[in-house]
Copies of this chain bind each other. A is one copy, B any other.
Amino acid sequence: MKLALIGVGLIGGSFAAALRAAGEVDHVVGFDVDPEAVSKGLAAGILDRVVVSLAEAVSTADLVVLAVPVGAMRPAFAAIAGHLPPEALVTDVGSTKVSVIEDARATLGGAFHRFVPAHPIAGGERPGVEHADPHLFRNRLAITTPVADTDPEALAAIERLWRGVGARLERLAPEEHDRIFAAVSHLPHVLAFALVEMIARSPDADAKFAHAGAGFRDFTRIAASSPPMWRDVCLANRVELADALDSYRSRLEDLQRAIKSGDGAALEHLFRVASEARRRAADTP
């Protein structure tokens, strides 16, 4: 099978490497707006060939994987729309699903039914194809969010590929996906970025970072993530994220009131609800 990888980064590169390791793919054509990314992809043996246009990338592909920041999905779909072979499958790995589906629907025309929206719940501390790992998706969740006109055979084919690289499959409605991930992924990223940025701008930033313990490092690990990717996620899922931020800010106000007024019982109650829920949410992979 010939794979066209649009966007050569950690997730796309890992998926390409995993599909090759599973014997599903024997030729990978890569495209990225960043020439350094494609060079690294070639050097890492993830790409066999690099092309300079999206049309050329997909024109002979059996499978097209879009692994660009979600803000770049629409122009990418638009650029490949007229050049897809009739039987080609198209999928993505974007962290938001409603916006990506809208982008595909608006641009792919008759090929839209062969587009299978997907989101693997995996990542690494460091972005970039040079950190790609064919085992990245083992025992991780891969979520598909088909819509009414998604071709069932295309869906089955993409889900089979994710199973083949070790992922556990789940289907969600796109709206449900975006609401859930606003709470458990997009909001935490925003909160971690905001904390590290606030400390970085403080006059004694060096002393603060020097005294950070393991708890701080765990809490802020996600703040090392790719800025353009997360900018796009925030904008693509802005309605759900803004809702989650509203709820969160109002919780912080309650907390601050309890702290200022010395209301230990209110603090302990809130901390207890959280602590028990966090322990129940077991550390499964």
- Alpha-carbon separation in the docked complex, A208 to B186 (Å): 12
Report the interface size class on chain A.
35 or more
Return chain B residues, CB-CB under 8 Å to A80.
Answer: none
Q: Which of chain A's residues 86-131 have a Cβ closer than 8 Å to chain B? A: 121-123
Checking B193, B213, B214, B216 against A271 with a beta-carbon cut-off of 8 angstroms, the contacting residue is B193
Return chain B residues, CB-CB under 8 Å to A71.
Answer: 264
Return chain B residues, CB-CB under 8 Å to A255.
Answer: 190, 194, 245
* Complex: chain B residue closest to A230, CB-CB: B271
- Alpha-carbon separation in the docked complex, A281 to B205 (Å): 10
Q: Is B188 touching A215 in the complex (CB atoms < 8 A)?
A: yes
Return chain B residues, CB-CB under 8 Å to A223.
Answer: 274-275, 277-278
CB of A272 within 8 A of chain B?
yes
Known A-B contacts A180-B204, A215-B188, A255-B194; the reply to A275 vs B226 at CB < 8 A is yes
Instruction: Write the residues of chain A forming the contact surface with B, with a CB cutoff of 8 angstroms.
Output: 71, 121-123, 140-141, 143, 176, 179-181, 183-185, 187-202, 204-205, 207-209, 211-228, 230-232, 234-235, 238, 241-242, 245-249, 251-253, 255-256, 259-260, 262, 264, 267-268, 270-275, 277-281, 283, 285
Q: Is B238 touching A260 in the complex (CB atoms < 8 A)?
A: yes
- Alpha-carbon separation in the docked complex, A183 to B234 (Å): 25
Return chain B residues, CB-CB under 8 Å to A217.
Answer: 281, 283
